[in-house]
Amino acid sequence: MRICFVSDGDLNDYAENYSNTSADVVCFSFQALGQVNYERELRGETNLFEDAALLSKEGKNVVVCGCYTDARGVRRKSVVVAERGRILGVSDMVNRIDGGEYRCGAGIKIFDTKAGKLGVVVAEDLYFPQVLQTLSVCGADVALCIFEEPNETLEQTLIRAGAYFYGLPVCMCARGYAQAADIAGKLCFASPDSPCVYEMEREQEFHLVETRHRGFYKKKSEF
């Protein structure tokens, strides 16, 4: 799977200058679309989601964009996914920390595309291991984390740990930086360039893990 990370600039800048970049998936951080108001989108006053769909149609690929959505005053950090001219859906951040500005959404999503099953991690959802665990259990081929501005090494440590614990390659596109970790927990790609391209190998390895667990008591039959 060939993934192009765009960590700086918006969709129009990419379309005008780099649209000939060969990639199965193009990932944009939150600067790509910025603020998206659902009501204005539905009324046709803005066409931000349409821009993402058109870009995916022109590139014959999948486009993954971070954005800030507004639904009647309820603001969320979100990621829109488009493939070959069609919007596949929008995934919202499902965890809200200490009553932050952005509300939490519902549901962790995997998008089944021709490039593979793409699991989406939205911003601070990376800090909650159960999100990556859910994507792994549900069969994602890769986890794409769309982030804002990363801390020095925290997010890199988390994607490496998550990739190792759950056997799922994790890629991050943040403002000004892109990186990826393989299932061995190694950082296999990192770059401040925008755009930059990473050729990801699909890795699926399964093992039988057995543990002893107290509980689950079943009364023995008297017969």
Evaluate if residue 81 carries a pLDDT over 80: yes
Secondary structure percentages of the chain, helix, strand, coil, to 5: 25, 35, 45
Average of per-residue pLDDT across 106-118: 93
- pLDDT score of 77: 95
Q: What is the chain's alpha carbon radius of gyration, rounded to the nearest angstrom?
A: 19
Q: Is the pLDDT of residue 216 over 90?
A: no
Report pLDDT digits (tens) over 9-68.
Answer: 888 888 888 878 889 999 999 988 989 999 999 888 989 999 999 999 999 999 999 999
Report residue 223's pLDDT band, with 50, 70 and 90 as the boundaries: low
Cis omega (within 30 of 0) for bond into 195: yes
Question: Once rounded to an integer, what is the mean pLDDT over residues 153-171?
Answer: 95
User: Is the whole-model pTM more than 0.85?
Assistant: yes
**Angle at which helices 154-166 and 129-137 cross, to 10°:** 30
- Tell me the pLDDT band of 80, cut-offs 50, 70 and 90: very high
Task: List the structure tokens of 184.
Answer: 């061995």
Q: Show Cβ contacts of residue 17 under 8 Å, excluding neighbours closer than 6 positions.
A: none
Asked whether residue 220 carries a pLDDT value surpassing 80, the answer given is: no
